[in-house]
Amino acid sequence: MVSFNRDVRPILSDKCFACHGPDEKKRDSKLRLDIREQAVKPAESGDTAIVPGKPEASQLIARVTTKDRDDRMPPSKTHKQVSSQEVETLRRWIAEGAVYQGHWAFIKPERPALPFATPNPIDAFIRARLQKEGLQPSPEAPRETLIRRVSLDLTGLPPPPEEVSAFLADQAPAAYERVVDRLLASPRYGEKMAQQWLDFARYADSNGFQSDGSRFMWPWRDWVIRAYNSNQPFDQFTIEQLAGDLLPNATLPQKVATGFHRNTRLNGEGGRIEAEWFAETVIDRVDTTGQTWLGLTLGCARCHDHKYDPISQREFYQLYAYFNSNEESGVLDADGRNTKPLIGVPTAEHEKQLAVLETARTAARGQLAAAEKALPAAQIEWEKSVRTQLSDEAKMWMPLVPATVVSTGGATFARQPDGTVLATGTNADFDTYTLTAPLGGGGSLAAILLDALPDASLPTQSLGRAPNGNFVLTDINATITSPQLPAPRRTTSRRILASA
């Protein structure tokens, strides 16, 4: 039986659709041969292009076979003609009812009936075709050839000599089947099967543009290999690659699976227009999804309704809207690392080490919490013990409690419950803080210890007031005075705030 998609559509597409197809601008008449309802509808003249079951009454057959140069189709200006074999195909197709078929991508696969019974169903179709062509099957290949063929087909690698020898020595009826089972269980099987899928997904560990810098896409490649080796069902294979991160409680491998759509080109050129390249990335994802999963060339509908695949421009941008909602630009964390849409993917060895470190971290956190809980009492006891150990003449650190703190840059100061002073308010690029405080310990001063302490209110909960929590201390000066001494020089300590 003649198949429209296999046998007839190629003829009409090559010889007829230019004038009687979907392209409205090039169509020479109202007749459309790509739509059955119009092709079988009588024209105003009473003629009908296709009369199902009656090729002799169909103008299509009459016009491709007429000797009249003016009426013959295709027109001579196209420099094309329908061969006698093609005419016979069209005639048989019309005689069988002129059944049209939709796009092959939308036709549900049907398992055909076997031409005859055979242990291997594939052999039945091959033998039936050989009989139709009057051919005989070749003799069975030598066992060395059989194992070489199946090894290359399933793993992409030739069999090592020891495997060939083992197969030749195994004369059991199921020896070949055991070889196939062994190759299917090999990790190399997934690598071989993944090759074509990696091509579909435009996989590469580089950016594909400009200097073609490196990037790490291999975790997704390894996910594909594992999917083949584990014989993952195709529906799950599809779901996880298109939207694995959207699954409830998505696992890390399911998130890695969405790397299928991270295989787009990346443009790191300084003069690029970010919005333009974002749009190009989305279009690439739409087109790749269409070709890979739908069997359709969606890219043409980017600019107009598709001429040959049943996709409108509106439908293209409906799918575009789905991918346009993705997060593309990165987000920097406090350490300046890119957190989105990048994810960390540890190897199996890394996961073992991380588990050990996580156990140690949990234990350390418990110890830290216990220590912090006991800290105030322990601190007081420690200070008492130190004071009792020191002699009256021993030098020791004593807290200097300022009576006043003044800023030349406009900063204000807040005394904290623990006796420290926190700078707030205006944060000048250059500032001088002047502290005035009475001396304890009989008025003696041997050294100054300046403690800069972190505070939760400061940037990154650090020590300074710069955006990155940094500060720079240029110098510190100290002067001792009393009512009996001449007026001293101004006491200063300078602190310069700057970003690291």
Query: Percent of the chain having pLDDT more than 70?
Result: 90
Query: Is 321 part of any domain?
Result: no
The separation between the first and the last C-alpha atoms of the chain, rounded to the nearest angstrom, is: 78
Average pLDDT (286-290) is: 93
pLDDT at 417 over 90: no
User: Which distant-in-sequence residues (6+ apart) come within 8 Å of 219 by Cβ?
Assistant: 256, 259, 345
Element (H, E) at 313: helix 313-324
Q: What does the pLDDT look like over 479-492, one tens digit per residue?
A: 888 766 665 554 44
SS3 of 162, please? helix
Q: Count other Cβ atoms within 10 Å, centred on residue 340.
A: 12
What's residue 414's pLDDT? 92
Q: Assess whether pLDDT exceeds 80 at residue 222.
A: yes
Determine the Cα–Cα distance for residues 100 and 39; give it in Å rounded to an integer: 10
Identity of residue 220? W
d(CA 497, CA 272): 35
Burial class (CB in 10 A: 0-12, 13-18, 19+), 137: exposed
Q: In this predicted structure, what is the pLDDT of residue 443?
A: 57
pLDDT tens digits, one per residue of 90-113: 999 999 999 999 888 888 888 889
Tell whether 212 is covered by a domain. Answer: no
Encoded tokens for 239 = 């779901």
Domain boundary residue, one of 101, 117, 143: 101
More confident residue, 212 or 133: 133
The answer to the question of residue 20 being in a domain is yes
Domain edge (last residue) among 54, 69, 101: 101
- Whether the predicted pLDDT of 8 surpasses 70: yes
The set of residues, in sequence order, having a beta carbon less than 8 Å from that of 283 and lying 6+ positions away, is 299, 302, 320
Q: How much is the pLDDT for 336? A: 45
The secondary structure of residue 338, as a DSSP letter, is B
| 410 and 479, same domain (yes or no) | yes
3-state secondary structure 227-287: HHHCCCCHHHHHHHHHHHHHCCCCCHHHHHHHHHHHCCCCCCCCCCCHHHHHHHHHHHHHH
Residue 159 forms part of a structural domain: no
Q: Do residue 388 and residue 475 come from a single domain?
A: no
ω before 341 within 30° of 0 (cis)?
A: yes
**CA proximity to 396, closest of 404, 407, 385:** 385
Whether 327 shows a pLDDT value over 90: the answer reads: no
pLDDT surpassing 70 at residue 75: yes
Q: How many CA atoms lie within 13 A of 11 on its CB side?
A: 22
pLDDT digits 0-9 by tens, 114-168: 998 888 899 999 999 999 999 999 999 999 999 999 999 999 999 999 999 999 9
Least confident of 65-74, 376-385, 447-456: 376-385
**389, pLDDT greater than 70:** no
The answer to whether position 469 is within a domain reads: yes
- The gap from C-alpha 224 to its chain's centroid, in whole angstroms, comes to 13
Is the residue at 216 inside a domain?
no
Could you tell me what percent of the chain has a pLDDT over 90? 52
**Mean of per-residue pLDDT scores for the chain:** 86
pTM: 0.62
* Residue 441, in any domain of the structure: yes
Residues paired with residue 425 on neighbouring β-strands, in sequence order: 411
The answer to whether 256 and 219 are in contact (CB under 8 A) is yes
450 vs 495: CA distance, rounded Å: 12
391 and 408 housed in the same domain: no
Last residue within a domain, chosen from 85, 101, 117? 101
Same domain, 435 and 468: yes
Q: What does the pLDDT read at residue 498?
A: 36
Q: Give the pair of three-digit tokens for residue 493.
A: 């300590």
Amino acid present at 189: Y
State the DSSP H helix or E strand holding residue 219, giving kind and residue range, or none if neither: helix 218-229
Distance CA 407, CA 433 (A): 5
Instruction: Report whether pLDDT(350) > 70.
Output: yes
Q: Which residue has the tokens 């296709």?
A: 50
For CA atoms 405, 410, 411, 414, give the dihedral sign.
positive
Measured over the CA atoms of residue 302, residue 304, residue 310 and residue 312, the dihedral's sign is positive
35 pLDDT more than 80: yes
| Whether the Cβ atoms of residue 57 and residue 27 lie closer than 8 Å to each other | no
* Alpha helices, H only, 390-436: none
Query: Is the pLDDT confidence value at 340 over 60?
Result: no
Per the domain annotation, does 220 fall within a domain? no
Q: Residue for token digits 């269409």? A: 290
**Both tokens of residue 140?**
């069975």
Residue 500's pLDDT is 31
Together in a domain, 93 and 68: yes
CA distances to 186, 196, 301, 479 from 315, in Å? 42, 28, 8, 80
More confident residue, 56 or 119: 56
Question: What range does the domain containing 67 cover?
Answer: 4-101
Instruction: Look at residues 286, 351, 349 and name the one whose alpha carbon lies nearest to residue 314.
Output: 286
Do 371 and 416 reside in the same domain of the chain? no
Q: Which two tokens stand for residue 378?
A: 């322990």
> Total structural domains in the chain?
3
Q: What is the largest CA-CA distance in the chain?
A: 132
d(CA 239, CA 445): 74
For residues 421 and 383, membership in a common domain is answered with: no
Q: CA-CA distance, 292 to 288, in Å (whole number)?
A: 6
Whether residues 388 and 408 share a domain: the answer is no
